[in-house]
Structures are given as structure tokens and as C-alpha cells.
Amino acid sequence: MSTYSIWVLEYCAVEAYHKSGIVYGAHNQGTKKLPYCYVVIKGGGRTAMVDVGYNNKDYGRYLGEKFGVTNWHPPETVLGEVDVTPGDVDSAFITHAHFDHFGNVEEFPNAHFYVQEREIAKWIWAMSLPERMRWMMIAIDPGDILRGVELAKSGRLTCVDGAMENVLPGVDLQPAHDSHTFGSMWVDVRNDGLAASEDRWILAGDLVYDFDNLEGDGDIVGVETMYNPVGLAVGSQVNLLLATERMMSSVGHEARRVIPIHEERLKDTFPSRITKNNLRVTEICLGSGETSKVA
């Protein structure tokens, strides 16, 4: 009996993202579509999100345009596809502080937010470094950090120090420090509520961009598949690989249980549909008593 339903909701996309950003070392291999998504976890009287996207107004619009983002739609529209409103969301787990994950907190007025403390502390440190080291500040908007202040001020932000079990019943936060960012984390949903869960879903944030990171072609080293880390890492590809192994180990190496939110091919593994706004809704699982939103 599953507690939670989980949907991956596309809210916009980059039509032509360079593949080397997705898979380390994939140089000169062209581009591919990179959907921007967030995740809704609903059940047991709770509604949570993994990341909240960005707000496509004012500066957010400029950022989106610079990143080549198209077809952006607001949370009210996107969440409406699974009969959720932004006001229903009571918890939001921010996997890392990049603008497309942490850039729309104001749209969720009743949510309590969770972010790794290290993510904040290390960005502060990075901003103290000389200009010649500014690469470490990529994709960080100080304005988003300022919005975090308002959350913290109103008691709606928890800085998590490492792992946090049962942030919701059966939902854990797991750190992956110095990987995609300084304080990235993933969300572990034990959908049967058991410590040794046999119904576990891993919501990987940007620790995994797509299936190629989990099951890349292993021909070159004589194996069927191998991990290929994400191209973009402020930390290291080694730490990304180690995090991937931890995630995969926790689900018995069943790759379909590790959910990469930027993966267009989720539709090949899970039931999904395209909305009238040309955005994909992917249904990872259904909790008890919930009806399908993609049927």
C-alpha cells in the first residue's frame, strides 16, 4: 500500500541544451531537449514539492531567456494538471540553489522550505573568492538568496545539516555534498513507510540529469552499462558518481526508481500525457485512493 503519489511536472524547457552539460565529456555531441520540471509528492494529507522552479517575470524572465527557456507556465497552471494548487503545498525540498530550482518560492505561500545549510554557507564562501575564481558562482542569483531571507524570517525555512529522516512520514533528505553544487541533496520517498523499504523512489534533483547518467553505454570499458556523471559540477564528478551509487544502491540498482527530472524520456518508462500547454505530466506512482492524472 503506497502512501504517496508522485508526479513529475514539466513547467518549461530548453529545446537545445548542449549535451556536454548533461553528460560529462560528451563534447561535440550536439544538443538535446532539457525539460525543466518540479515534482509533486501527495499523500497522507500532505502535499510537498521537490524544487519550485523559477518565476518568469522581471529578472526571472531575463534569466529564462538567457538560458534559452521556452514555454514557461506558472505553478497554478502546472500543478492544476494534478488537481493541486500552489496554496496546497505545505513542504518544499530544495535540492540545490540554482535559479531554476529555488527561484519561485513566493508562489508557495503555505510551504515550509528545506535546503542544505552547506549550500548557503559555501555560496557565501564562494562569493568571497577573487574574481578569477568566479566560475564557482555559476547559476546563482543573489536575489534568490535574498528571497530565502524572507522565508527564514517568517520561520518557513529550515537549514538542514546533512541527512534528515522522516521530514514527512517516510520521506528522507539525503546530502550529496560537493557534487552538482556544494550542498546538493536528493529526496528519498519510502512509499511503504518501512525503514528497509521495498517501494522506494529517489528524486534526484540535478545529481542525475537523464538516463544516460545512470545507464550510459559501457562498451568502452567492456560492461553493459555504466554511470556517466552530469557534466556540470561545482563539486566533482567523483562525488556525483559516489552519490549515484548511493542512490542506486538504496533502490537495489533498479534504475527506474531513480528519477531524473530533466529527462525527456521519462515518458518511455512511466505513464504520461501532454497538456494543452504542451507540457508533460509524468505519473511515477499513485498512492492509496488517488486517481490517475494521466489516464
Partner 1 sequence: MSSQSWRSVLDHKPTIHRPDCEALDQQPNAVAIPDADQVAGQASEDAIRYGLSVRPHYEVLKRSLGQISGFLILAYASQKSDALDIEAVAAAREQFFAARDALYGLRPPAVGAAHHRTLLRAADLLDGAFGLLDHKGFRQSEERRDEVAQRLQAVHRLILSASDDRFAMTMVDFSHACCNCTSLASPTQNSPNPHSRQGG
36, amino acid identity: Y
Catalogue the E-assigned strands of the chain.
5-18, 31-43, 46-50, 69-70, 91-93, 112-116, 157-160, 164-168, 171-177, 183-190, 200-203, 216-217, 225-226, 258-259, 272-274, 280-285
Q: Which of 157/284 has CB closer to partner 1?
A: 157
Closest separation in Å from C-beta 56 to partner 1:
10
Distances (CA, A) of 187 to 41, 119, 172, 275: 10, 16, 6, 26
Which DSSP string do the residues of 40-53 spell out, in sequence order? EEEETTEEEEE---
Determine, following the binding rule CB under 8 A, whether residue 124 of this chain makes contact with partner 1: yes
* Contact positions with partner 1 (CB under 8 A) in 199-258: 231-232
Question: Closest CB to partner 1 among 14 and 78?
Answer: 14
153 binds partner 1 (CB under 8 A): yes
The rounded distance, in Å, linking the Cα atoms of 106 and 258 is 29
Binding of partner 1 by 150 (CB under 8 A):
yes
Residue 118 is classified by DSSP as: H
Vertex 95: Cα angle to 205 and 19 (nearest 5): 35
CB of 293 to partner 1, least distance (A): 30
6 vs 111 by CB, closer to partner 1 = 111
Pick from 8, 120, 243, 248: which binds partner 1 (CB under 8 A)? 120
Between 7 and 209, name the residue whose CB sits nearer to partner 1: 209
Q: In 96-174, which ranges are continuous DSSP H helix?
A: 99-102, 117-126, 142-153
Residue 26 in the binding site for partner 1 (CB under 8 A): no
> Should residue 127 be labelled a site residue for partner 1 when binding is judged by CB under 8 A?
yes
Among 80, 87, 159, 290, binds partner 1 (CB under 8 A): 159
Chain residues that interact with partner 1, rule: CB under 8 A:
14, 16-18, 21, 57-59, 61-63, 65-68, 98-99, 117, 120-121, 123-125, 127-128, 131, 134-135, 137-143, 145-146, 148-153, 155, 157-159, 161, 231-232
